[in-house]
């Protein structure tokens, strides 16, 4: 599995802490991590709005399989990511959230609060969240006897989002293109996207934005 980690400006200083814990879990499970957001306060500036654009591009192009995002409360990142087709983001403050999201909702992104409640032992909470998010088979339901209805409802919700959203590329082109350009300008994002992108139309679009 390819996992993208993305931090925005307000919590960029937490990136090394979160990245260390995510790498520790991913290495044990044989997953690959791409640190595509800000890695410190002086890095290419991103807001949680940009994180949504980045997550949408990475997931819809199948450059990555899962995204870990966040902001001060996690709420802005949650809303920003869920605004994009093909992104199913859950809000996660503790390991049980990660486990239940994986088993019931079976989405492809998490938004964490990196300021609110991020105190003593926060790095342990992050590690245990990542363990529950990526260990074992997903979509098994909780409790297990409710699996059938939970899987069905998750599928229905995906259909609702598809019906209510524009074609993804059309939607991207409808955005302020300066927002998109800022989102895709980071070198680590580009390395991940262009190396692993499986959608030629999205790849061509991103190149055109960068060249504009």
Q: What's the chain's average pLDDT?
A: 97
Confidence check: pLDDT of 162 > 90:
no
Residue 151 pLDDT grade (very low, low, confident, very high; cuts 50, 70, 90): very high
C-alpha of 143 from chain center: 26
Of 5-14, 153-162, 171-180, give the lowest mean pLDDT range.
153-162
Mean pLDDT of 18-25: 98
> What are the C-alpha distances in Å from 13 to residues 10, 122, 149?
8, 14, 41
Give the whole-angstrom CA distance, residue 150 versus residue 104.
Answer: 6
All domains in the chain, ordered by first residue: 2-211 (3.40.1400.10)
Which long-range contacts link 181-184 to residues 24+ away (Cβ below 8 Å)?
181/209, 181/210, 181/212, 182/45, 182/46, 182/50, 183/46, 183/50, 183/51, 183/53, 183/54, 183/57, 184/53, 184/54, 184/57, 184/209, 184/210
Which tens digit of pLDDT belongs to each residue from 80-123?
999 999 999 999 999 999 999 999 999 999 999 999 999 999 99
Confidence check: pLDDT of 166 > 90:
no
Q: How much is the pLDDT for 43? A: 96
Mean pLDDT of 193-208: 98
Q: What percent of the chain has pLDDT over 70?
A: 100
Which tens digit of pLDDT belongs to each residue from 26-35?
999 999 999 9
0.85 exceeded by the pTM?
yes
């Amino acid at each position: 599995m390819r996992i993208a980690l993305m931090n925005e400006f307000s919590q960029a200083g937490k990136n090394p802490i979160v990245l260390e814990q995510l790498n520790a879990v991913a290495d044990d499970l044989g997953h690959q991590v791409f640190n595509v957001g800000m890695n410190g306060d002086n890095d290419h500036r991103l807001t949680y709005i940009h994180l949504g654009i980045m997550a949408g591009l990475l997931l819809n192009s199948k450059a990555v399989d899962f995204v870990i995002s966040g902001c001060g409360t996690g709420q802005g990142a949650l809303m920003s990511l869920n605004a994009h087709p093909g992104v199913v983001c859950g809000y996660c403050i503790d390991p049980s959230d990660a486990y239940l999201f994986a088993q019931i909702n079976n989405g492809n992104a998490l938004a964490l609060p990196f300021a609110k409640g991020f105190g003593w032992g926060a790095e342990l909470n992050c590690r245990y969240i990542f363990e529950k998010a990526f260990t074992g088979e997903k979509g098994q339901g909780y409790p297990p006897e409710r699996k059938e209805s939970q899987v069905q409802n998750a599928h229905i919700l995906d259909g609702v989002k598809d019906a209510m959203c524009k074609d993804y590329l059309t939607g991207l082109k409808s955005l302020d293109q300066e927002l998109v350009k800022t989102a895709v300008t980071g070198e680590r994002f580009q390395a991940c996207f262009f190396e692993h992108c499986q959608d030629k139309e999205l790849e061509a679009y991103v190149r055109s934005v960068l060249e504009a």
